[in-house]
Amino acid sequence: MKHGKPFAVVMFAVLLVAAPLFLNAYQVDVLNSIGLYGLLALGLNLILGEAGLFNMGHAAFYAVGAYTAAILNTRYQIPILWTLPLSGLTAGLFALAVARPVVHLRGDYLLIVTIGVGEIVRIALVNDIFGMTGGANGIFGISRPQLFGIVIRRPQEFFYLIWGCVALTIFLFLRLKQSRFGRALNYLREDEVAAEGSGINTAYYKLAAFGLGAAWAGMAGTLFAAKMTIISPESFNFWESVVLFMIVILGGAGNIVGVLLAAFLVIGLPELFREFASARMLVFGLVMVVMMVFRPQGLLPAGGGRFSPVTLARGRG
Amino acid sequence: MEEFFQQLTNGLAVGGIYALIALGYTMVYGVLKLINFAHGDLFTYGAYLGLTLLTSLALTDHLGFALGVLVLVLMVMGLVAILGAILERAAYRPLRESPRLSAVVSALGASIFLQNALMLLYGARFQVYPDNILPTATLNVFGLYLPLMRVLIVLASVLMMAALYLFIQKTRIGAAIRAAAIDQGAARLMGIDVNRVILLVFLLGPALGGAAGLMVGLYYGQINFTMGWVYGMKAFTAAILGGIGNIPGAMVGGLLLGVIEALGAAYISIAWKDAIAFLVLILILIVRPTGLLGERVADKI
């Protein structure tokens, strides 16, 4: 089992890289959506999965990133991919500013506050805040991204852009998970009092997790803006945050493979059953309840890192 | 002055509705320390059940307006209470000993499920209450005109709140609820059946929430399957504002929030109306997380 797993992952990666060669444009587009949600969910996983902070306003950070990119691109003609770092930075700073006063709140209260933040951001966008967001219609005419002189236009081309970002994210977040920083976040999730007692600056790490996760959402927002060329507040409503929250919880909070698997299931499966599209959320809700009753740790639970309690208990340090 | 008075009374009517919903949140929180996210959807079920019963049974035709609506309110309250009990049994009881996150996620899942079940049953469009059964009369109070419906809403919500308050404060069962909220273990040792108390709370809260849903249908005339979410969030804000877990707090918080929102919409900006409640929520949690009359919610070592 332990040896079978890396092999399966490599096989899957090879299959994925070759996918655009034998899938049609629509199927590739579904994969692109899965990739975008995967990116967003990996960012949220840092906040909700690794650090255990209930954030249900992730769509707000996504929106800040997407709108930053769109405004810079349409008003100042900055190439869309160049805005990536800037929209990440804006979303991250926004998250820090928002989270600073509330990050100490107990779990479910943080959840409510982040829902509130998400709604306020959406309402602000609808009300054309700063006169720059285009109100309920949003912003259109965002230019196509260009990479090494190639204009990215077809779904197949976007596929490699998006999944390239996902691959990079997986690599970076795996490194992060095994670092001192990642272990500190896990401590925080498991036992905040003990973590603080062992000299972990809880406020700092919580904020860092928020900022980093939100920055990732912001950059995913840029990719979204580039892919759609038009964005509007409705793309960032409360249900987006719920779906992302669900992906992380169902996949197994804190497990990168689990989160990606859940992204495939939650975003990909409904595409297979399009005739039942209206019952999609009904099934999601039911799955959430059933999952919590029978398997609250998610499909692939976290644990198994080098210094995790699970591994140590097994005597494999 | 006229404008201010109209907004104030409108705010009190909406606030009374918020308060009724907030009571459900606050009672459940008091006993289980759980935010019942599905409570807002039970409220919506109240509105839809009310509409269905109203149109299919034609109660107001047979019994006249006052008696018909009274019977309707009681029927809706009973049905939504049963729904609340089923919800507790299916989604919350199996998770009584689980970590908080599991219960929160289960509550969210139940909320999504209930909301979408309603959409599949009734369709996604707005449903309209028949407008010929409601009194359209206005009262003249010291030269100011008040729609009768608004007065009835305020009266009904105050009446229900008073009844609940007396029940909680003056009866033995009410004392058991208060005891279970303070310390479940000790309450159990004193011979209180905590499971029954929890069940009772899940009957009472949804009953009031269902009544509030019916009131919204009668007051505004149109309902939607997603409205439970907005009302639920606002009622929850009201519960926090008053101090969650605190029953008089939920009443005060609801009325206060209704008035703040109505005045804010009138004098600041109508487009930002929904943001006002969320802003109040965030500010209260930052500045005074205990609410006006309540328990502390922020962790501090």
Q: Which residue has the higher pLDDT, A258 or B298?
A: A258
Under the banding of pLDDT at 50, 70 and 90, the label for residue B30 is confident
Q: Tens of pLDDT along A209-228?
A: 999 999 999 999 999 988 88
pTM, two decimal places: 0.84
Minimal CA separation from B86 to chain A, in Å: 14
Nearest-10 Cα torsion for B153, B155, B156, B157: 80
Minimal CA separation from B269 to chain A, in Å: 10
Average pLDDT taken over every residue of chain B: 85
Closest CA in chain A for residue B87 = A289
What is the pLDDT, as a whole number, of residue A309? 52
Average pLDDT taken over every residue of chain A: 82
Strands (E) in chain A, as ranges, are 139-140, 146-147, 150-151, 230-231
- Cα–Cα distance, A262 to A252 (Å, whole number): 8
Give the DSSP letter of residue A137: G
* A38-52, A78-92, A284-298: range with lowest mean pLDDT: A284-298
Q: Which residue has the higher pLDDT, A229 or B213?
A: B213
Residues of A whose CB is below 8 A from B119 = 278
How many interchain CB pairs under 8 A, A with B?
133
Average pLDDT for B179-205: 90
Cβ of residue B35 closer than 8 Å to a chain A Cβ: yes
Nearest to A285 among B109, B285, B301 (CB): B109
CB contact (8 A) between residue B100 and residue A107: yes
- Cα–Cα distance, B283 to B278 (Å, whole number): 9
CB contact (8 A) between residue A292 and residue B115: no
Q: Tens of pLDDT along B32-89?
A: 888 888 999 999 999 999 888 888 877 767 777 778 888 888 999 999 999 999 999 8
Nearest to B100 among A108, A112, A116 (CB): A108
- Cα–Cα distance, B286 to A101 (Å, whole number): 6
Q: Tens of pLDDT along B99-111?
A: 777 888 888 889 9
Cβ of residue A136 closer than 8 Å to a chain B Cβ: no
Nearest to A292 among B102, B281, B286 (CB): B102
Q: What is the set of domains in chain A, with CATH numbers?
A: 4-314 (1.10.3470)
Residue B1: alpha-carbon gap to chain centroid: 30
Average pLDDT for B272-299: 75
Q: Is the pLDDT score of A315 beyond 70?
A: no
Residues of B whose CB is below 8 A from A119 = 233, 274-275, 278
- Parse chain B into domains and list their residue ranges: 28-228
CA distances from A256 to A156, A173, A249, B109 (A): 25, 8, 12, 23
Under the banding of pLDDT at 50, 70 and 90, the label for residue A25 is confident
CB distance B261 to B277 below 8 Å = yes
Residues of B whose CB is below 8 A from A128 = none
CB contact (8 A) between residue A105 and residue B298: yes
Interface of B with A in 223-282 (CB under 8 A): 229, 233, 236, 240, 269, 271-272, 274-275, 278-279, 281-282
Closest CA in chain B for residue A129 = B272
Residues in contact with B185: Cβ distance below 8 Å, sequence separation at least 6, in sequence order: none
Which of B39, B92, B112, B226 to mutate to probe the A interface, most A CBs <10 Å?
A: B112
CB contact (8 A) between residue B102 and residue A116: no
What is the pLDDT, as a whole number, of residue A310? 54
- Cα–Cα distance, A267 to A251 (Å, whole number): 13
Cβ of residue B26 closer than 8 Å to a chain A Cβ: no
Closest CA in chain A for residue B301 = A193
CB distance A94 to A221 below 8 Å = no
Minimal CA separation from B297 to chain A, in Å: 7
3-state secondary structure of A151: strand
Structure token pair of residue A34: 């899965």
CB contact (8 A) between residue A296 and residue B289: no
- Cα–Cα distance, A37 to A267 (Å, whole number): 8
- Cα–Cα distance, A65 to A84 (Å, whole number): 8
Q: What ipTM goes with this model? A: 0.80
